[in-house]
Structure 1
Amino acid sequence: MAYYCSFKPSLLFLLFFIATSQARDSITTHLHFFIHENVNRPNATAITVVNSTTSNPGGFGSIGIFDDEIREGSSIDSKLIGRAQGMAPEVSLSEMAWLLLIDFVFTDGEYNGSSLMVVGRATLGGTIERSIIGGTGKFRMARGYTINTFLSGAPEGRLIDECDAYIVH
């Protein structure tokens, strides 16, 4: 016996309307900022909380946490606009690579009180792309990606990471 399935035109229109209305209500935002990490004590913003017990290169299995500054520019004196808070377990047996879980918490400006959750791989060279998997405040229901590049020439014990975030929310 053959089955016959038919959609009524009004049901198809309703499904189309729902799909397109969600796309029209989305906003795309591009943010450009710099993450400043300091490993110098006593004012370190990143520390290792679990040391690796393996002899593999790069410390496979170690876990670091961080509460880095988000600034408008690459200068240490540029305006503070938030914090990059998260953790970074080393996940590679063959190179220095981490799985970063970052919450960008904005504390000044237009996005004060909003945050972005970012997940992805990190290495110390080249350009890195990570996924934006959510957000709060003005970034509620966010999705998108970040492009990160470590800047050379940072003072000893500091890492400066240039970040471009492309956010749909």
Structure 2
Amino acid sequence: MYMDRTTRQVLVMEWVEGQKLSEVKDLYLVEVGVYCSLSQLLEHGFYHADPHHGNLLRSSDGKLAYLDFGIMGEFKQELQDGFIEACLHLVNRDLMHWQMISLLLGYNYFSMTGFIIQAGFPKEEKGLFIEDATNVNLALEMKDMGVVGIDLSGNPEVGECEEKERVSLIHSYSNAFKGFSAMLIKKRSLLLSVSAINAGEEVETHIQVYFNDIVSGPNYTAIRVAEASTTNISRTNFGAVVVIDDPLTESPDPSSKLIGRAQGMYALASQEEYGLLMAMNLAFIDGEFNGSTLAVLGRNAVFSEVREMPIVGGSGRFRLARGYVLAKTYKFDRITGDTIVEWNIHVLHYS
């Protein structure tokens, strides 16, 4: 914004060259948009209150550009704290504590399904609203924004509530839903719509590699970096933390073609069995997925015949990926501790 040319009546801003989001295919912008929105709300407490496709561009250097700062809003600290806590309770499906946080946000605000709703009704009606909202599946349906109710209860009978009951709930408390909540829902809807436009077709890919965990000799690829005072007397080495840069090869032969590397760590996290917490990136360095990564985070009971670990994300060709790894030990050297594991990777991602 050019302050020296701006008056109370005229706002003069920089001209930005770029493409409309509806015309580009770059999933990275969705990730950036999420970070930008959360940063505005939770870090700065000052946000762009009118996000839509016309106000967002992909600049020539690949950045996400926000336009038209004529409408801005303030997100106070008490709302930031309540928003985060309410979201955590929703993720954990802890409805009781979610309701408590909603009330603790105070007279003017009510937290609902991860959004902060400005409430314009008396305190005594808040309890009634919580009860009614619970009875109809905490449904949010606003005709002017097309926001559909979400089933948080896990109760199929609640999930099958009639549409007219949902609409009736919103009409009964229509004065509760002000522009503030609309802005937050609009931000989320915009990012989802951009994602849908740019994502392309979702495909499933299967990759088989061999995970080489070498803990012995001068060319080790896994090294213990931390342990508890009781780790060495524990029958499961409980408390040990190992950092890895393990080769992912095409076949069980360690000298076979290198497909990528498993980089991260695992911790011995069970006192009853050899159970590992695996947290790592699979960095591919060959083939069509060269330069892409998959993030694996899960439990690995190493003496089970087959272990399943979740794929929780990715980058490059695997942006927004999800899936699982099936691991099966191919070879274990009881003297050195070196291990070769067959990994069958099943991943859903966008083409």
Q: Which runs of 5+ in 2 are unaligned?
A: 1-139, 148-188
* Counterpart AA for 1:147: L
Q: Bigger CA drift: 110-119 or 121-130? A: 121-130
Q: In the alignment, which residue of structure 2 is the partner of 1:52?
A: 228
The alignment status of 1:162 with 2:342, answered yes or no, reads yes
Q: Which runs of 5+ in 1 are unaligned?
A: none
- 1:52 is displaced (CA, Å) by 2.6
- 1:154/1:135 CA distance change after superposition, 3 Å: same
Q: In the alignment, which residue of structure 1 is the partner of 2:250?
A: 72
The alignment status of 1:34 with 2:191, answered yes or no, reads no
Between the aligned partners of 1:162 and 1:132, the Cα distance in structure 2 is 16
Asked if the contact 1:115–1:136 (Cα under 8 Å) also holds between the matched residues in 2, the reply is yes
* Counterpart AA for 2:347: I
Between the aligned partners of 1:131 and 1:6, the Cα distance in structure 2 is 33
Identity %: 35
Between the aligned partners of 1:50 and 1:6, the Cα distance in structure 2 is 51
- 1:36/1:63 CA distance change after superposition, 3 Å: same
CA RMSD of aligned residues (A): 2.9
Q: Which string of whole-angstrom CA distances, capped at 9 and with x for unpartnered residues, describes residues 94-140 of structure 1?
A: 22211010210001111110000001112322210000000011001
The structure whose residues are more often strand, as a share, is 1
Q: In the alignment, which residue of structure 1 is the partner of 2:240?
A: 62
Q: State how 1:3-152 maps to structure 2 within 5 Å.
A: 11=146, 25-54=201-230, 55-125=233-303, 126-152=305-331
- 1:51 is displaced (CA, Å) by 2.3
TM-score normalised by the chain length of structure 2: 0.42
From the CA coordinates, give the structure whose radius of gyration is larger: 2
* Counterpart AA for 1:83: R
The structure whose residues are more often helix, as a share, is 2
- 1:155 is displaced (CA, Å) by 9.2
Number of corresponding residues: 162
Asked if the contact 2:276–2:302 (Cα under 8 Å) also holds between the matched residues in 1, the reply is no
Asked if the contact 1:154–1:160 (Cα under 8 Å) also holds between the matched residues in 2, the reply is no
* Counterpart AA for 1:44: Y
- 1:53 is displaced (CA, Å) by 1.3
- 1:154 is displaced (CA, Å) by 5.7
